[in-house]
């Protein structure tokens, strides 16, 4: 199962990393090739990857439309949409 996807737009790169089948973390980096920012030291305690991410298909999908992220359910219901 896919655990991470990277999208490249005209202005930036966007990484979608699935932490569980229903939790996706979005991270941004500039489009000039700069690496994604390093995680803060405390993030491991807050956003621990769960083993189930490898056992279940994700119930969310991520799309990037005109530099904006849209997260929706597999059925097409928007859960997050940047403007």
**For position 51, what pLDDT does the model report?**
64
**For position 42, what pLDDT does the model report?**
86
Cα separations in angstroms, 52 against 8, 56, 74: 28, 6, 18
Yes or no: say if 56 and 18 are a contact pair by the CB < 8 Å rule.
Answer: no
Number of domains observed in the structure of the chain: 1
List the one residue out of 6, 46, 39, 40 whose CA is nearest residue 23: 46
Q: What is the pLDDT of residues 21-58, one digit of tens each?
A: 888 889 999 988 889 998 888 877 777 666 665 567 78
- What is the rounded average pLDDT of the residues 63-67? 92
**For position 41, what pLDDT does the model report?**
86
Strand 78-81: give its sheet, edge to edge.
60-65, 68-73, 78-81
**Token pair in block for residue 1:** 């199962």
Q: What is the pTM of this model?
A: 0.81
């Amino acid at each position: 199962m896919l655990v991470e996807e990277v999208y490249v737009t005209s202005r930036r790169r966007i990484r979608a990393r699935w932490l569980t089948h229903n939790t996706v973390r979005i991270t941004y980096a500039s489009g000039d090739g700069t690496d994604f920012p390093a995680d803060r030291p405390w993030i491991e305690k807050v956003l621990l990857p769960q083993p189930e991410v490898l056992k279940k298909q994700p119930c969310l999908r991520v799309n990037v439309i005109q530099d904006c992220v849209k997260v929706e359910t597999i059925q097409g219901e928007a859960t997050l949409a940047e403007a």
